[in-house]
Amino acid sequence: MMYDIQKIREDFPILDRQIYGHPLVYLDNGATTQKPKVVVDALVNEYYSVNANVHRGVHFLSQQATELHENSRETVRRFLNARSTSEIIFTRGTTESINLVASCFGEACMNEGDEIIISEMEHHSNIVPWQLLQSRKNIKIRVIPINDCGELCLDRYEQLFNKRTRLVSITHVSNVLGTVNPIRQMIQTAHAHGVPVLVDGAQSAPHFAVDMQELDCDFFAFSGHKTYGPTGIGVLYGKENWLDRLPPYMGGGEMIKNVSFERTTFNELPFKFEAGTPDYVASTGLSRALDYLTDLGMENIYAHEQELTRYATQRMNEINGMRLIGQSPHKDAVISFLVGDIHHLDMGTLLDRLGIAVRTGHHCAEPLMHRMGIEGTVRASFGLYNTKDEIDSLVNGIERIRHMF
């Protein structure tokens, strides 16, 4: 299929906006992505013509809303190539998905002195839930170090396993460095030690095909809003045998089979983990977004973004005083940088005045900042609608700002 970038951009009305008199150059896709019309239309249509609470209603609208919601679960299953919709739990996003595992897996499978392996490049959402568990259960958090290029030290990873290791929880792609971790190999290593793996897919699911059966991970988390879908919805994939073993996360409606004051029994998967009214409209939006990605072809999106990443790396390296943070050859769609001694916040603020949206700061990865010996970076992160012209605008903008200092 031809990747017709102009036609694709027409699907995203916001890209036509002018910011301070400049055409918007949106390079903050790592934080959230823009939404194609099909997604917003699906939300509006459902609210206007279907809206009713799901699962419990006998009336027409409730059944239609339920069908849409459960069809969306099937779309997610297909997108991830999971074995069954029982393995697809709707959450509010990656953060909630990881907290769910920390809470439920921590409750069922971890005791004082047990260990979890995470890495130095994790987002706070894959650090703090484990620290909360640590304060409840006195578990130990072991950390895989990274090298100066921003890659995980795999030999050190192997050495972290011992008989108390209960779980590995690592990011697929770093939201700061762009490093794509060799997750398949890391999962095999963990499984060889009998240890399950949770993959934080917040920065991988939007960019390339992720196949649960091929990866063989035990849990996988991603966010709808970073995947061109609505805010407030995300996914936790879990292998059925693990999910069956875990206790519920929250209590309430939907997650029960029968309730009495003496004894409550829990619903079957995946509903056991979905207490309360789900965001059944957002699930429809998410499924439209995933269908949109599938129709474009994840391999085409990947090829396009790889080309952008290569081009951006080359152009950025032409800038005097440029320091790229994260130099792994296995990178995807993220360029973090600092220029001379220009503060990242100044750079971000001045780029904004040129209509260029980038993110600045520690990117919710303070331990990584400490490791790299910096306070923060400027981060340009690409999406399926970005162009080389936009990268030229970024480079020209940086040059202008550099000359001001």
Provide the binding-site residues for ligand PLP, judged by CB under 6 A: 30, 93-95, 123, 125, 171, 175, 200, 202-203, 223, 364
Cβ atoms of 133 and 107 within 8 Å: the answer is no
Helices 280-296, 37-49: axis angle to 10 degrees equals 150
Between 145 and 340, whose beta carbon lies closer to ligand PLP? 145
CB atoms within 10 A of CB 1: 8
CB atoms near residue 148 (< 10 Å) = 8
Closest approach of ligand PLP to the CB of residue 171, in Å: 5
Which one is catalytic: 104, 109, 217, 364? 364
> Pairing state of beta strands 356-357 and 25-26?
parallel
Minimum distance, C-beta of residue 393 to ligand PLP, in the bound complex (Å)? 24
Q: Identify which of residues 114 and 274 has a Cβ nearer to ligand PLP in the complex.
A: 274
The tally of CA atoms less than 13 A away on the side-chain side of residue 145 is: 8
Residue with tokens 């409550």, as numbered in its chain: 264
Between CA 238 and CA 220 the distance in angstroms is 7
User: Could you say which DSSP state residue 402 is in?
Assistant: H
Nearest approach, Cβ of 321 to ligand PLP (angstroms)? 27
Nearer to ligand PLP, 165 or 223 (CB): 223
For every residue of 207-269, DSSP letters joined together read TS---HHHH--SEEEEESGGGTS-TT-EEEEE-HHHHHHSPPSS-SSSSEEEE-SS-EEEPPT
Q: In terms of CB distance, is 187 or 202 closer to ligand PLP?
A: 202
The nearest distance, CB 217 to ligand PLP, in angstroms, is: 15
Cβ closer to ligand PLP: 85 or 171? 171
Compute the distance between CA of residue 175 and CA of residue 204 in angstroms, rounded to an integer. 9
Contact 361, 383 (CB under 8 A): no
Q: How far is the CB of 384 from ligand PLP (least distance, A)?
A: 17
* 86/174 with CB nearer ligand PLP: 174
Residue in 326, 104, 117, 376 with CA at minimum distance from that of residue 203: 326
315 or 331: CB nearest ligand PLP: 331
Candidates 336, 325, 321; CA nearest to 401 is 321
Pairing, β 115-119 against β 140-144: parallel
The C-alpha atoms of residue 218 and residue 240 are separated, in whole angstroms, by 9
**Spatial distance between the Cα atoms of 298 and 292, rounded to a whole number of angstroms:** 10
Nearest approach in angstroms of CB 133 to ligand PLP is 17
Has 104 been annotated as catalytic? no
* Distance between first and last Cα of the chain: 45
Report which of 313, 296, 317, 250 is spatially closest to residue 100, judged by C-alpha positions.
250
Report in angstroms how near the CB of residue 30 gets to ligand PLP at its nearest. 6
Residues with active-site annotation: 364
